Amino acid sequence: MIRRVLSWLIVLVALGGIYLAYTLWPDEDLNWAVASLVLLLLGLGLFYLRYERSRVSSKEIAVIASLAAFAIVGRIIFAPFPNFKPTTYLVILAGYVFGPRAGFMVGATAAVASNVYFGQGAWTPWQMLAWGLAGASAGLFGRLRGEKVTPYELAAFGMVWGFLFGWIMNLWTWLSTVYPLTFETWLLTNTTSLLFDISHAAANVIFALLLTRRFLPILWRFRKKLTITTLEVLPHEKSN
Amino acid sequence: MSRSADRHNLRGHAATLLFYPFLMLMVSVLTYHPLYLGTELLVLIFALALHGGVRTFGRTLKFSIPILVLILAINTLLNKNGATLLYKGPTVAILGQIRITWEALAYGLIMGLRMLVFFAIFALALNWLSADRALGLSAKVAKRSAVTVMMTTRLIPYLTEQSHQIGDVLRTRGVRFEEGNLLSRLAARRPLLNVLLISSLEGSWQVAESMEARGFGQGKRTSYSRERWSRIDLIIWLTFLAAIALVVWSWFTAWTWIEFYPRIQTVMADEGPWPTVFHAVALALLLALPPLLLKKRRRTSNGTS
């Protein structure tokens, strides 16, 4: 209950902030550098609050940590291929099987932990958001399609996220250093990373086609193992 | 992890060390007055120099050049709101007629400066606070998330090591990782990933069991290292408050305000440059104080008592 109230409170603060920002600066004069930063932190805060407040079992924490570490180690294993990293696809796969909350956490955790090794920076929170949302949206997609999904569907999903990831990463540069904020300037900001985005999308497609058939059954099996319910302590045992 | 950090020469609570970069970030996104951004960059370079992080910053600068060029190009080429014309060129697809104005050029340059400030802030944060301390601090507010990240960072070297072993086993079984075209080389790594996934998931079960056995989630979290508040922290937090008050004041008196289009306007034109300059300098001095206070005095050989 408290969790729900707090979550809605954050959403209301964000909406109220947007409303106030627009009424105070109606003529496109809103400071987007501040607004985007605040919205980003609120959004990440909302997800983390959900994770903290829900009674996540130690098994779930361990599985999320393992999958996040696995996604990062995938990056190290594929070091000989500079533009083909399975990380995004593995985050999507984890989200697809374990649901939106676990998907977000795998993505966000992978971003923080990999930057502990590869260097933190202004991009870290945006990377957390991008990978987190990739995992969370895959979780929603998983609820929709379940075990019937084909590698081709996940390949298409991964391709979309290859581009979305780049666009989210470019968002802050665009919002905080470019004026005016029009479609043309947005397009030009994104053309500079176009080659990276294309290779990212291609990598997701290739890994989806290569790995899905083998990895999905493994993950489904572990998900089944994860949903073991613990028994309540009986009243007469409690008194001892 | 940044190795150049000289963390032994630093004192202060982790929260203090984290809030300072955050405050700097908020100042740099609140205003784009070049005077404020410029003095902020100077303060940051001073802080980095004081604590031995200039090299880390220098390394990030190499990567930032394309972004700086991009920011300058997009702003000068696409913005047609400026009034002072510098160059008028032919019409190009998407961009329209090339029309470079002084205002757009200045905007692009100042935004480049802002980007440099962002990079310096993160270089400083990295230099001051190790990942362990930052995670330890976040464990106070977000227990489960911090444990998840800590566990992941611990698992990465372990799984990397394991992947080497699995790779060796596969090689002895005749798997050739470096032969064939790109696709077959990618596919050759599939069994490696497969084994690694299963073993890491199985391993997570054992981790979870030992967590349960040690009573994870029961009672208050214990920790080996303890962050301590000192008098220095109190003084620094007072300077933070003073800096925040100064920024709010500058915001309301419009000293931080700058309008680029159609012509560059600041309040400096109306009331002379000095009030703005004084404020920017006062803010810079206030913000330069915490790095100075955090610097640990070196003990002289005869002064160790």
Check whether B2 has a pLDDT greater than 60.
Answer: no
CA distance B243 to B290: 11
Residue A195 contacts residue A171 (beta carbons within 8 Å): no
Best mutation target, A61, A189, A219, A227, to test chain B (most B CBs within 10 A): A61
Question: A216 is written with which tokens?
Answer: 């999905």
What ipTM was predicted for this assembly? 0.84
Residue-level pLDDT at B305:
36
pLDDT tens for chain A, 240 residues long, are 666 777 788 778 878 877 776 666 655 566 777 778 888 888 898 888 888 888 788 888 999 999 999 999 998 888 888 778 899 999 999 999 999 999 999 999 999 998 888 777 778 889 999 999 999 999 999 999 988 899 999 999 999 999 999 999 888 888 888 878 888 888 888 888 899 999 999 999 999 999 999 999 999 999 988 876 666 777 776 655
Check whether B56 has a pLDDT greater than 70.
Answer: yes
* Among candidates A105, A113, A214 on the partner chain, residue whose Cβ is nearest the Cβ of B153: A113
Interchain CB distance below 8 Å, A66 and B204: yes
**pLDDT tens per residue, range A34-52:** 778 888 888 898 888 888 8
Residue-level pLDDT at B4:
41
- Give the amino acid at A155: A
Q: Hunting for tokens 């400083």 — which residue is that?
A: B124
Q: Which of A130, A142, A136, A152 is nearest to A200 (CA)?
A: A130
The β-bridge partners of B91 are B97
Interface of B with A in 274-293 (CB under 8 A): none
Interchain CB distance below 8 Å, B189 and A78: yes
Distance from CA of A216 to the nearest CA of B (A): 11
CA distance A20 to A3: 25
Element (H, E) at B215: none
Residue B294 contacts residue B236 (beta carbons within 8 Å): yes
Chain A residue numbers with beta carbons less than 8 Å from the beta carbon of B71 are 173, 177-178
pTM > 0.80: yes or no: yes
Residue-level pLDDT at A146:
86
What is the overall mean pLDDT for chain B? 84
Q: Report, as an integer, the average pLDDT of B24-50.
A: 91
What are the start-end ranges of the H helices in A31-123? 32-53, 58-77, 87-98, 100-118
Residue A201 contacts residue A163 (beta carbons within 8 Å): yes
> Within 10 Å of residue A94's Cβ, how many Cβ atoms?
30
**pLDDT tens per residue, range B63-91:** 788 888 888 888 888 877 777 778 887 87
Which H, E and C letters describe B33-99, residue by residue? CHHHHHHHHHHHHHHHHHCCCHHHHHHHHHHHHHHHHHHHHHHHHHCCCCCCEEEEEEEECCCEEEE
Residue B148 contacts residue B26 (beta carbons within 8 Å): no
* Among candidates A57, A189, A211 on the partner chain, residue whose Cβ is nearest the Cβ of B193: A211
Residue A162 contacts residue A207 (beta carbons within 8 Å): no
Residue-level pLDDT at A172:
81
Helices and strands (DSSP H and E) totals, chain B: 11, 2
Chain A residue numbers with beta carbons less than 8 Å from the beta carbon of B156 are 69, 72-73, 113-114, 117
| B151 vs A: CB within 8 A | yes
Compare all CA atoms of chain B with the CA of A58 and give the residue at the minimum distance: B208
